[in-house]
Each structure stands twice: as structure tokens, then as C-alpha cells.
Structure 1
Amino acid sequence: MPGMSRRSFLNLSTAVAAGAVATPLLTACGSAANKKTEAASSKVKLPTYVPFDKVKPDLAPNAQGLSAGFLTYPKTLVQSVSKKPGDGSKVTVLTEMWTAPPKPKGSNAYWDTLSKEMGIELNAILGSDPGYPDKFSATIAANDLPDLMWIPPNQGIQHVAQLLEAKCADLTELLSGDAVKAYPNLANMQPAHWKTAVVNGKIWGAPSPYPAFGQVYGGNPRIWEKAGGLSAASPEEFLSKCKEVTGAKTWALEPIYVNAVSVLSQCYGAPNKWLQNKDGSLTFWMETDEYAEALSFAIKLKKAGVFYPGDPEMADAYIKMAQGTIGACVYPNPKAVRTDTRTNDPELAGQVLIPFSAGGSAPKHARHLGTIGYTAIKKSSPERVKMLLEVLNYIAAPYGTKEQEFLKFGVEGEDFTYDGNGYPKYTKTGKSEVEGLYSGLSTATVAPASLSASDFQGSAQAQDVRDIYAVEQKLIPMIALNPTIGHYSDANTEHYPKMSTDANDLVNDIVAGRKNFSEWKSFWSDWKPKGLDQMRHEYEKAIATDA
């Protein structure tokens, strides 16, 4: 999402979001009778995918996750919602924002205008990063549930299945199959976007789509030019290039070792979070030999002195890369490589490292979850639930629509103006009133991601779209899917945050030389009885139920 903190998104591939804790839902979980210790997703017909066709992209998307590409901003915006979605009532949404908070309701003209456009009195409880799990639990514990609640799958929030069953509306009948066509902007979401919102065989919310592509190394082309660019055909060539560009006041790689191992493990063919074996059993990706090989290679990189000798959790690595101190950093997806480098230096076109083959295995690219969560609806009358779905349908307006421009940028002349290329740009008022509120609303739900020239700064915006689209095309054949997506494990929400934090800490310690590589295998043996095997068995059971 726009403005999401770097650390949060990077750690989604190897752990829960940074700073997240395993936070129980306190008194809102319902009675013991409501608890399901092995909440598993059974068969459910996902919503029918009906692509939005009123705005035609220059570069076509596909069902595998390739993004739509827009080389210019649409000259004529279309309407995606025929009438105001609301019924004049107050609607409260609990969500997370990834930028500075907006001016509060009452002193924010855009907030008032948005409420009028949507036909509701909009209230927003805006959590921040880190700290959203605590905000979520405190809100639920107050026993005055908001109408709309954003639920992330990876921030350690526990007992989600119980909360959904006890307090939230089952949306399956309203959204499953062709029923979703009543909400066209929600029907514009692909099956992969919906799977996270399925728990106990029911659809519980509107997804928050995110690009299909996951972590990649992105680099400063000025630094890698003397080595022939940020590309390699083998670990040996990559190490050689890293050595070549390291020197004086430049280092090849940022020092966030756990993210380095995550990206490099794709080269060794490591699975995407879980490997489903031929007998149906599951192996966690960090247990695999492929991950261990990537960890061993990261140790070689460290000994070669190619990592920047700074804080392994450094927050300014992207800035240092733009300045020429660091050659490459890990980014949450290919698009972020180019948008971020352009932000820090409009003339810097960040390069993306395509996974190379290592260890005799074909390289893989770990597909993202497909969403960063979903927004559930509080149990209400059937009429109110449908109205709230209309509100979410409005918020999910696609690129090129009047609703999407208004949601993201506000009112022309007050909140934004068009630049020389016809792209909307915030005014000072828009930055303070619109940006933060849109950040929260677009976390609740949003249209599927696209590549738009307006997303990039500098003088080569259309070329940026073409370049990242080309990178996505190269990654599509390497896509590795996570077999547990669309399945639920209580043990995962209970144990994963602690396990992943401990694992990440050990990776950092091993690469830094504070602990021995030999401790890696024993770590996983120790974790099997502490929660790993329970996660594994619950996911295996859930997958078998769907078979």
C-alpha cells in the first residue's frame, strides 16, 4: 500500500510484520463453545472474476498476476458506481494507515466531502505501523465493534476464526460465485485475492489486493554499471560482481541479512513458505536444504565484506542506495524498486535482479499472499450488511474511474492539481487531509494493483511502466505458490510470530558471525514440538478437506 513502512513489507516474506506481537482478541472471542481449535477452510465457491472493462490498459494484465499497465493517465474518467452506496447512517471503519495521519474529522474538509459522496457519516479508527495488533485488540475488547474491521493475516492477531464466527457477518451467500456481480468493483478481484478472506469454509470480507510479486533485489544502475549490470547466472558470478562494486565508500548490499537470505533462497529453489510433498505432507520453507544453502551463501557474502557495515535493521538503506553508498536493497516487489528509486532521485531507474539458478535447482519467485488482509463486516441486519458491502465496493473503484481519483486525490483545485503530463498531484491541503485517510481506506480494500505512469517520478514514466511490466513477465514463469493460502491454522496465529522472530534473529546472528551455522538445523528440531508441527498438521488437514 502507498507509504507502507519498508520494514513491515519486507518482513512479510520471512516473518510477520515487524513489531507485531501475538495479540489475543480478549473478550471478543466468544464462549468456549464457539472455539474451533482446528479452524480449517473447507470447500467454498470463490467469487466469480469479472474484470473491469470500462477502462482499457495499454498493457494487458493476466490471471497469473501480471499487472495492467497504463502509459498515460486516462483523459476521460469513467463512473464505476451508479449511486451513493450509503443510507445516511454512521459507518465506522477500523483500519491501518501507512503514512502521516490526516487532519481529524471536524477540521478536515475532504473528510466531510467524502462522507457526502458516499452517503454515510464516515468515522475511521486509524491504526499505525507498528502497533496495529494492539489497536485492533483494544478496539475489539471495548465490545463496541466498528462496522468494518480490517484483518491482516500476518501481524499475529490470534483467534480470528472465533471472532469472525461470533461477531461478524458471513458474506458467502452475498459474494460466492456469480452473487459478487452485484458488487462489480469487488468482482474485479481475482480468485487469489479472495483466498485469504476464506475461513471455516466461509467468505468473511472484501480483500485488500496487493501485487502478485514478492521480494526482489533492486539496485542502483550507476553502481552496477562497471560490473555489467545487476544480473548474474550463478552464485559465483553474483559474488564476483558484489566484490567488484564494493570499495571506497560503496558496498554492494544492504545489511538486512534475513531479507538477503529470503531473496537468495529463491535462486536455490526454496518453496514459497510451505512445500507440499507428494504424500500431502508439508515442509516449512526455512527447514529446507534450499534455504540452508542460501543461508550458507549469505555467510560467504558477509565474509567477502560486500554487506554495508551498518545497522542490520537500518531504516535509511534506500536513501543510501540512491546516494551511491549501497548497491542493492531488498524491496517488497519489482514496482517498488522503480517507484522508490525515482522518489529518492528522479533520474535514477532502479534495476531488478531476476533470480538466477543456484544449487542445481530452477529458480523460483515467491508469489505474494495476494492481499495484505481483508475487511470483515460486523453482524447486522441483512439490509445493513448489503449497504456496507456497497461502501466497500465504492472504495474498491478501479484505476481510471472518477471514484478512484476522488478517493485518492480529493477535489481538484483544493486537494490536487494536474501536472504538465496530466497526472494528479497533491496540493499542501491534499497532503494533510486526503493522503492519510486514503491510506487507511485503501488498506481496508482497494482495486487490484496496476502499473501507472503517474506512479513514477522523473521524465521517463511511461518507460518505467514498460520496464517493470517486462520484469513481471520474466518472473511469471518462476512463480511459486504457497499451498496454505486459503486455509486457516489457529496454531499459525498463535506460534508463528514468536517462531519467525526467533528464526530471523538467528539468521542475523549466523550471518554476522555471532552464532554458528550448525545451530540452524537444531533450531528447527527444537521448534517442531513447540508449534511448528501443530501448524503443519492443521494446514495439512485443511488442505486435505478441500481435496
Structure 2
Amino acid sequence: MSRRTFLSLSTAVVAGAAATSLTGCGSGAKKTGEAASAKVKLPSYVPFSKVKPDLPPNAKGLSAGFLSYPKELVRSVPKTPGDGSKITMLTEIWTQPPAPAGSNAHWKKVNKELGVDLEAILGTDPGYEEKFSAVIAGGDLPDLMWIPPNQGIQHIAELLEAKCADITEYVSGDAVKDYPNLAAMTPAHWKTAVVNGKIWGAPSPYPAFGQVYGGNPKVWEKADGLSASSPEEFLAKCKEVTGGKTWALEPIYVNAASVMSQCFGAPNKWRQNKDGSLTWFQETDEYTEALNFVLKLKKAGVFYPGNPKMADAYTKMAQGAIGACVFANPFNARKDSRVQDPGQAAEILIPFGVGGNKPKHHYHLGTIGYTAVKKGDEKRVRMLLGVLNYLAAPFGTTEREFLEFGTEGTDFTYDKNGFPERSKQGKQQVEGLFSGLTTATTSPFALVASTFPGTERAQDVKDVYAAEQKLIETAIQNPVVGHYSDAYTQHYGRMSTEATDLVNDIVSGRKKLSEWKPFWAEWKNKGLEQMAREFQKSIESA
């Protein structure tokens, strides 16, 4: 995932069904949505049991870990799901586009495996919002349509009600067992696809953990590592490693404030108070203290000067010009660092406490959206759900290997450790298509050795797994995940953009920290207080 999509606070996910399903919806959304969405019966959770991980997952979000590649794969979809018809899919890719369907041998094999003629409309980041709007404006809705949580798309609720299939009866409760790979998704995943008391699509799972600092160990070696036990120690270490052509931190201040707010004990987007009321995390004293600490970091000169592009920041970290960057989660911190430098095993900063208080790591929503299904008769809808069930095949299955790597001998070969590696043809034909298909839906996230570049793949799995275990000790959920607020859909985009701009202005010295609290007092009357009341009502009616 690009850092624009998953790291910038201006587009940060703040709620489950609210953020994922209804970002930016107009006031025409059903006013009864708060209560209805809270009462829907979610699909039963039936974990996939045919492949046993080396490191077990748990219900708190700990990822399954696979230290090696299975010698024998299992089949998870016994029958071809398609009926030979043409289906269209609107989705997003996060890499180079694949070769077109007409000249892509792998795409033709995917069609055969799925039993359909797949036309994929592949959007990019940035640009998916425009692609989405253009497709919808054309009037011919795709059969399958990925709906992201945070790209400012308007009027999603109305679109779902008018044009998409309510799949609740097909997946609610034990009905989901007709689609075993979809049944392996947790209730937390499914919450993100609920709007107005109905389930609208298959979730797109993502790691459960949130933002962390990942650091170049060579830079932090002189400070005895990136880890710290207090803000004072972290600041001292940042000063120690800054000098010459090296700066401790990347200069995306809103991400620094987000990570530091975990250390200062700020809530995960919303705090649920004893009386049931809700407080937005940025209006808390804890976040203000974190922002003040980021201001101290800025004054100490430990942020890289200027505003390098996100990919450049990773490159500069690999080169040693930047000591640490904010990553979407611990997995990305290690993986993305390996991409830049296969020999770099990025350190992961575990949030430290302040003044004897425990930190609060913020869980991520756990999905990147969901794929809705176009309205149709039951036979058509069930066929499309069967296709999505195939796409959700988990690690260790023949379907997952085929989707991710293609055909052995032409698209990939196994290396000396038994890990699949794409050939030149695989990169041209498989990689981009898999990116789009896995955005639409995929299996619950797992730490898999073969996803890490370099030679220390099994150790990377162990290290990230260990970091997750530490994060779990203080991790907290967003209390409004799976709940609906009409006001949120109307006001959040503008509110978060203005907040991000103010963070940048304060840290850069253009405005004063004393302007932060009045900003939120003003926003209470512009929609924030209404959001809190509506989320509270939804929670109380659950």
C-alpha cells in the first residue's frame, strides 16, 4: 500500500463500517443506519485449518507465521466457480499494470480457473477516486467493485442501495459456510462491509496492527538501537544519530504525531468515556502533548530537511540519510526496508510510555475496504461470490500460489529454499493482475517468509511476529469500528485535512501550539460533536 493511502492522517481510517463503507456520503444516507448497522448478524468465523502455520495466530490480531514454503499445497476450491460468462471488476493496483488481457497468457489461465471472462478495470493510486467516479458516471456498473475506506469517494451508501446486491442472506451467520475461504475472515473484517444493517461485499483483509517507526539499524547503532523507554531518551537518541548527512526522522509531521500519540496514551481515533460519550483522539490532552513533543523534535533539528517524496524517504533511509520512517505496520517496516536494501533488517520501535503510564498501540482497521457485488438474480450473485471465494484462497493452497505467482516454469521457479520467484514473464503478466485481484479480496493476513526480500526470510517472520507480540500487550481497538455516523460521512474529509494542515503549520513554526485546542472547540460545532453523538447511539443500540 502506498504511504499516501495508509499513512497520511488526512485520509486515515477512523471507523469500521463508518469509514470503510460511507466515507464522504451525502446527507441522503439513511438516518436509521446507526442502529441498523449495529444489529446485523455477521458471518460465522470458520478458520482455514488445512494448512498449519509455524507460528500460531490469535484472536487479538497476532498474525500466523510461516517460516518456509509448504512442500505440498492443498486445494481450497473443489469446483470452478464461474459459469462461463463475462464479468467486470473495478479494483486498484499498487504496482506496474500487467500486460493486457489479450496478450497475457496468465490472465487467460485465470479466466479458465475462475470459469469466467474477466475484464478488470485497474485503477491506480493516486487516481482511483477519479477512475471510480468515471466508471459510475458511465452508468454501466461493474459486476464487482472495490470500495476503499479513505479516498474521498462520495455517496457510497446511496450507490449501494440503488445498484448493488445485499448479500446478507448469502453470508450472514452460517450461510457463509457455502464460501469457506470467505468464512475464514473474522467478524472484525466483515464489520467493514456493513451499511444500513446489510452486508454489501467481501472484505479486503490487511494486517491488524497500526503505524510504527521502522529504523535503519546502522544509523541507530551508535545510540544503542532505536528502542527507547521514554520521550526524553528517544529525543536524546534522535539527537545522537543526527549529524553530518544523517537526520533521525523523516519529515512527515502528522505521521510522527500519530505514532507519538500512542506513546502518550491517546485513544485509537475515539475514546469511549465512562458515561458512554465519545472524544476524538486529536482533541485529547494526550494528543496535544504528543504534538508538543513532535515540536520539540523539530526544534532539535532531527527531522530530515525539506519534503522528499515517500519513496525517496525509504531510499534515503536505506542510504542512511534518514534514520527512521513511519510505516503502516510492523510487517511493512521490515519488508519495505528489505526492498530498498536486502541486507537491512529494519528495527521496529515499540511505543514507550510517558511518566509511568502505559502506551497505547493503535490497531489498524484490519481491512482496506471491500468489494461490492452488482445487483442480479440469486444465481448470478452466488456465482460472483464464488469467484470472490476463490480469490480469498489462503496461503498454502494451490489457488493462492497460482494467483500470486502463476505457472511454474514460465511465470516462476522455486529458489534453493523452495520459495517461488517470479520470472520476467511473471513480473509482466502476473504481478500487476495479482495486485488488483488481492485488493478486491484476499485471505486474512499472514507473515509468510517468501514475501520478504533478502536471505533472512525466516528470521524476518520471527522478528515481526515478536514485534506483534509486544504490540499486543498495549494495543487498543477503535471503539466505533463497525458503527455508523451520518455526520462522519459528511464532515470527516474536510476536518481531517484541516487538522493535518494545522499540524504541519504548528510543527513548521507558522502557527502556535496554542491554536490547537481552539481549532477543536470550533470543530465541535461544525460536525465533530454530532459524529460523537451518532456513534454513541449506534454503540448503545448494538
Normalising by structure 1, we get a TM-score of 0.94
Equivalent position to 2:419, from 402, 417, 423: 423
Q: Select the residue among 233, 246, 250 that pairs with 2:229.
A: 233
SS in 1 for 2:109: helix
Q: Post-superposition shift, 1:484?
A: 1.2
TM-superposed CA distance for 1:13, in Å, is 8.3
Task: Please say if 1:171 is aligned against 2:167.
Answer: yes
Q: What is the match of residue 246 of structure 1?
A: 242
Distance of 2:209 and 2:409 partners within structure 1: 36
State the superposition RMSD in angstroms.
1.9
Q: Does 1:77 align with 2:77?
A: no
Q: How does 1:502-521 map to 2 (within 5 A)?
A: 502-521=498-517
Note the residue ranges of structure 1 that are not aligned, 5 or more in a row: none
Q: Distance in 2 between matches of 1:86 and 1:75?
A: 29
Partner AA of 1:169 in structure 2: A
Structure 1 residue 16 displacement after superposition: 6.2
Tell me what 1:364 maps to: 360
Which segment is superposed worse, 314-323 or 232-241?
Answer: 314-323
Counterpart of 2:293 in structure 1 is: 297
* Matching of residue 536 in structure 1 with residue 532 in structure 2: yes
Match of 2:321?
Answer: 325
Partner of 1:39: 33
Deviation at 1:360, TM superposition (A): 4.7
CA displacement, residues 236-292 of structure 1 (integer Å, 9 cap, x when unaligned): 011111111111111111111110000000001111111111111111111111100
Where do 1:91-106 residues align within 5 Å?
A: 91-106=87-102
SS at match of 1:214: coil
The reply to whether residue 257 of structure 1 matches residue 253 of structure 2 is yes
1:139 matched to 2:140: no
Instruction: Give the alignment partner of residue 270 of structure 2, picking from 269, 274, 281.
Output: 274
- Cα deviation for residue 177 of structure 1 reads 1.2
8 Å contact from structure 1 (residues 408, 438) kept in 2: yes
Residues 215 and 332 in structure 1, CA contact (< 8 A), matched pair in contact too:
yes
Structure-1 separation of matches of 2:9 and 2:106: 32
- In structure 2, the partner of 1:444 is 440
Once the two structures are TM-superposed, the CA of residue 23 in structure 1 deviates from its matched residue by 9.0
- Looking at structure 1, the residues matched to 383 and 73 of structure 2 have their Cα atoms a distance apart, in angstroms, of 25
The alpha carbon displacement at 1:364 in A equals: 0.6
**In 1, are the aligned partners of 2:23 and 2:488 still within 8 Å (CA)?**
no
For 2:469 and 2:84, the matched residues in 1 are separated by 45
The AA in structure 2 aligned to 1:9 is F
Partner of 1:306: 302
- Distance in 1, matches of 2:366 and 2:177, equals 21
Q: Distance in 1 between matches of 2:494 and 2:422?
A: 40
Q: Distance in 1 between matches of 2:531 and 2:197?
A: 18
Could you report, residue by residue, the CA deviation over 1:77-129 in whole angstroms, capped at 9, with x for unpaired residues?
Answer: 11000010100111111111111111122121111111011100001111111
Question: Whole-Å Cα distance in 1 between the matches of residues 250 and 24 of structure 2?
Answer: 35
| Distance in 2 separating the partners of 1:312 and 1:288 | 30
C-alpha deviation, 1:361, in angstroms = 3.1
Moved more, 153-162 or 216-225: 153-162
Is structure 2 residue 198 aligned with structure 1 residue 202? yes
Match of 1:380 among 370, 376, 383: 376
Cα pair distance change 1:353/1:157, threshold 3 Å: same
Superposition pairs of residues 412-491 of structure 1, within 5 angstroms: 412-491=408-487
Distance 1:42 1:455 in 2: 36
Q: Following TM superposition, by how much is the alpha carbon of 1:157 offset from its aligned partner in structure 2, in angstroms?
A: 1.9
Tell me the distance in 1 between the aligned counterparts of 2:417 and 2:444. Answer: 24
CA displacement at 1:342 relative to structure 2: 1.1
Q: Which amino acid aligns with 1:243?
A: K
Contact in 2 for aligned 1:14/1:259 (Cα 8 Å): no
State whether structure 2 residue 117 is matched by structure 1 residue 121. yes
Q: How does 1:492-511 map to 2 (within 5 A)?
A: 492-511=488-507
| Paired positions, count | 534
- Aligned AA (1:376): A
Q: Contact between 2:268 and 2:281, CA under 8 Å: does it hold in 1? A: yes
Determine the C-alpha separation between the residues in 2 that align with 1:262 and 1:312.
19
Range with bigger deviation, 343-352 or 155-164:
155-164
Tell me the equivalent position of 2:541. Answer: 545
| Distance of 2:412 and 2:505 partners within structure 1 | 47
Query: How many angstroms does 1:341 deviate by?
Result: 1.3
- One-letter amino acid of the structure 1 residue matched with residue 112 of structure 2: K
- C-alpha deviation, 1:15, in angstroms: 3.1
Q: Distance in 2 between matches of 1:523 and 1:107?
A: 55
> What residue in structure 1 maps to residue 330 of structure 2?
334
Which residue in 1 is equivalent to 2:189? Answer: 193
Structure 2 counterpart of 1:154, one-letter code: N
Q: % of aligned pairs identical?
A: 70
Q: Residue 11 of structure 1 corresponds to which residue in structure 2?
A: 8
1:23-75 deviations in Å (ceiling 9; x for gaps): 978xxx9xx9x741453213122111111111111000111110111110111
Alpha-carbon distance in structure 2 between the residues aligned to 1:121 and 1:499: 43
Q: What CA distance in whole angstroms lies between the structure 2 residues aligned with 1:444 and 1:12?
A: 23
Work out the CA distance in 1 between the residues paired with 2:429 and 2:310. 30
Give the aligned residue type for 1:151.
I
Mark the CA change 1:342 to 1:335 in structure 2 (over 3 Å): closer, same or farther: same
CA distance in 2, matches of 1:284, 1:379: 37
Distance 2:10 2:477 in 1: 13
CA distance in 2: counterparts of 1:51 and 1:497, whole angstroms: 35
3-state SS in 2 of match to 1:193: helix
User: 1:522 — aligned with what?
Assistant: 518
Equivalent pair of 1:15/1:501 in contact (CA under 8 Å): no
CA contact (8 A) 1:38 1:489 kept: no
Alpha-carbon distance in structure 2 between the residues aligned to 1:270 and 1:122:
45
- State whether residues 14 and 258 of structure 1, in contact with CA within 8 Å, keep that contact through their aligned partners in structure 2: no
Q: 2: distance between equivalents of 1:258 and 1:238?
A: 18
Give the Cα–Cα distance (whole angstroms) in 1 for the partners of residues 308 and 103 of structure 2: 41
CA distance in 1, matches of 2:322, 2:300: 15
Structure 1 residue runs of 4+, over 4 Å off? 22-25
- Please give the TM-score of this superposition, normalised by the length of structure 2: 0.95
Contact 2:266 2:286 in 1 (8 A): yes
The farther-off stretch of 392-401 and 45-54 is 45-54
Q: Specify the code of the residue in structure 2 equivalent to 1:39.
A: G
Task: Tell whether the 8 Å contact from 1:16 to 1:156 is kept in structure 2 after alignment.
Answer: no
Does the 8 Å contact 1:13/1:215 carry over to 2?
Answer: no
